[in-house]
């Protein structure tokens, strides 16, 4: 879940280094950069898109969570593919555990992915 996106020699995005686990030495865990690439289809008009990173299980509804980012996307028609990139910098995870990256469109839950933070015992 930490892809590196490049459009160096073409106008096409490239994603390298996808992961869903961050291994750290100690808590709290600082991570310099996480990038989330999202593709959406079947939209109509303009919509607010939010990506939130929330704490380990039991804290899924905490506000505002570890980090949150919002943008507005426009869908010219329902068949248009909209590609979005959310870049988070200088994240601080207070403890190890299973965090969630949640995607919401117009305030409604769409999907989530697990992001695991590990620390040796």
**DSSP codes of every residue in the chain:** ---EEE-SSSSS-EEE---SEEE-SSSSEEEEEEEEEEEE-S--EEEEEEEEEE-STT-TT-SS-SEEEEEEEEESSTT--EEEEEEEEEEEESSSEEEEEEEEETTEEEEEEEEEEE---
pLDDT of residue 1 exceeding 90? no
pLDDT at 16: 65
All structural domains of the chain, each given as residue ranges with its CATH number in brackets, are 16-77+88-118 (2.60.40)
pTM recorded for the entire structure: 0.81
Chain center to CA of 63: 16
pLDDT digits (tens, 9 = 90+) for 8-18: 555 666 666 67
pLDDT of residue 101: 92
Mean pLDDT within 63-83:
90
In the chain, how long is the greatest CA-to-CA distance? 51
């Amino acid at each position: 879940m930490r892809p590196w996106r490049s459009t160096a020699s073409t106008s096409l995005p490239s994603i390298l280094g996808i992961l869903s686990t961050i291994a750290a030495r100690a808590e709290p865990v600082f991570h310099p950069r996480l990038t989330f690439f999202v593709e959406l289809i079947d939209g109509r008009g303009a919509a607010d898109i939010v990506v939130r990173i929330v704490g380990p299980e039991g804290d899924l509804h905490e506000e505002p969570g570890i980090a949150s980012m919002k943008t507005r996307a426009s869908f010219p028609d329902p068949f248009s593919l909209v590609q979005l990139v959310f870049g988070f910098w200088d994240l601080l995870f207070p403890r190890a555990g299973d965090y969630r990256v949640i995607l919401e469109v117009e305030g409604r839950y769409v999907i989530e992915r697990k992001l695991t933070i590990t620390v040796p015992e």
